[in-house]
Chains A and B, each alone.
Chain A
Amino acid sequence: MLFLQLLVDGLVSGCAIGLVAVSFSLYYSTTRVFHVAHAGIYTLGGYLAWYGAMQGIPFAIACALAVAGAAFAGAVIQRFLYDELERREATPLVMLIASLGALAVLQNGVAMLFTPNILQFPNPWRTRMLDLGIASVSYAQVLVAASGLAAFGALMWMSRRTLLGRRIRAVASNPFLAEITRLGPRSVYLAVMAIASAMAALSGIMVGLDQAMQPYTGVLVLLTATIAVIAGGIGSLTGAFVVAVALSVLQNVALILMPGRWSIAATFALFVVFILVKPEGLFRKR
């Protein structure tokens, strides 16, 4: 019974981590910028929604506003940081350090605007339980899983079926060609950043709703997510999502064997072994 409960909990939080992984992967494979500030966007989303909820705004609306706010913040980073750096022909190392700076600004900005302490959403319904027979889940967990799967599905649909999706894939496969054929990689990057940021924010909100929030936990989530992106094979959105869910399930089920505080160490050790053995990832084509 405990095993099943842990399995279900792992699947649920896997959907949230999967969302961070997929959005990171989408942005990274399009722009080749290792956007560590993504963890800051994740944090920002959660806090914005919390702030809305504290003002008495209905949860769904607070959520939508927070997602929009995070997408805007992402677009600002893209336009005024990464685009600027690229214009100055910055090396990847410089981009990375700047991104780390943006992460510090976002996390600590949130800590200063709101509070550096642990926060919980005020909505009372979030802890109400639902009995599934084999395990029980809270309303918040249902929302986590539903929103995660829905957003992932929407992203896959957009990527395959829409014009924007096709433009993104064209730019990702050859930015130089896209530039000269006037596909406009700049505007595509901006759109990708906004979409990725919205998804990360959604994940941050849902995890905050389910558990609790603290400004600096985003980095741990991003670490698991980037491990999933690499293990899933860079460029494979499905791979990133599947591996993220698998990792989350593994971390939860492992609670039977070892205390949770060691799970990040175990995940990371697994990753180091993995990249030494199979650096190209599980799902990568070519």
Chain B
Amino acid sequence: MSFLLSYLVLATIYSIAALSTNLLVGIIGIFSVSQAAIIGVGAYTVALLAGVVPFPVAMLVAVVLCALVNVLLALPSLRVAGDYFVVTSFGCQLVATAVFINWDTLTGGASGIVAIPAPSLFGFTADTPQTFLVISTIALLAACAGFWLLMRSPFGKIVHAIREDETAVLAAGKNVLRAKVSVSAVSGVYAGLAGGLYATFLNFIDPPSFDLHVSILILTMLVVGGARTLAGSIIGPFLLLALPQLLNLVAVPPTMAGPLRQFIYGALLIAFMLFRPQGIAGRRL
């Protein structure tokens, strides 16, 4: 049963991550393969601070830091036109992985950080999957509520309009750049939240937890579930995290399991873009 519980916890965490990617890819419409890097920044921050300051403080620092980093990384792509953002995004991801591996005095290098303390709130410690599921579910519900409130507000309407015709929004006298920066800040907050929860749930993080493959996984979750909607960001992670379990049913040598999974993610990306770009429950990208 604990196996099912950890599946549920991870699915809630990845749903928050997918919402973060959704804000960038679906809502503003900029390509991103660096969400895992941002989540990694959040995870490492919480991992390093968790023993030093109370859990909510560590979380707060991670969330603020991730929002800042995400805005900083999005800024060049928001200001400069063209396909430069693809390069920026790949660059951020690869550089972040290099930093996680090589800044070993801080990040523990390739062996990562172990024994990250479980989160505790008001004297209540979430050290079992059951109790953690409560925390991660509350976090996901809060993230969903935030997403929904944002999209329904006048601000959300402006953001939606920007995606359809940026020039027309400029002509309305609205601050387009500010709106996009705000959305990437919120996206960063979600990434930080997901990262902090990830680190304290597994009690262990290492560079491969936040590399390019993970970014592609999150993007696949979003695309399969469907971009631009709330439901899509939740359906995708719950479906795709079940995939490794299905693959366990067929006998695959352990060294091949990773490549096989990623092969399937790639095939899913292609298939959905060709035949159903709106995903299961999303809207057209």
Contacts and interface: CB of A to CB of B under 8 A. Distances in A.
B93 to A, nearest CB: 9
Contacts of B95: 264-265, 268-269
Contacts, number: 134
Interface residues of B, number: 44
* B33, B82, B86, B99 — most chain A CB neighbours (10 Å): B86
Given A93-B25, A108-B263, A112-B256, A98 B80 contact: no
Interface string A94-108: 111110111111111
A276 B81 CA distance: 11
B270 interface: yes
A153 interface: no
B18 interface: no
A178 interface: no
A100 B84 contact: no
Given A112-B260, A275-B80, A91 B267 contact: no
Contacts of B258: 116
A227 B89 CA distance: 12
Given A93-B25, A101-B273, A104-B262, A271 B83 contact: no
Interface stretch (A11-19, A188-196, A203-211, A218-226): A218-226
A215 B262 CA distance: 12
B285 A94 contact: yes
A40 to B, nearest CB: 9
Nearest to B84: A275
B277 A101 contact: no
Contacts of A106: 266
Contacts of B259: 108, 111-112, 116, 215
A81 B80 contact: no
Contact of B267 (A85, A101, A272): A101
Interface string A163-184: 0000000000000000000000
Contacts of A261: 98, 101-102
Chain A, interface residues (CB within 8 Å), range: 35 or more
B199 interface: no
A81 B270 CA distance: 8
A34 B263 contact: no
B14 to A, nearest CB: 18
A93 B29 contact: yes
Interface string B13-35: 00000000000010001010100
Given A91-B285, A108-B260, A111-B259, A101 B87 contact: no
Interface of A: 28, 34, 36, 81, 84-85, 88, 90-98, 100-109, 111-112, 115-117, 215-216, 219-220, 222-223, 226-227, 230, 234, 259, 261-262, 264-265, 268-269, 271-272, 275-276, 279
Given A93-B29, A271-B87, A279-B80, 15 more contacts: A34-B86, A97-B219, A97-B285, A100-B216, A101-B267, A101-B269, A104-B216, A104-B265, A106-B266, A112-B256, A216-B212, A219-B94, A227-B87, A227-B91, A261-B98
5 contacts: A93-B285, A98-B273, A219-B212, A227-B87, A261-B102
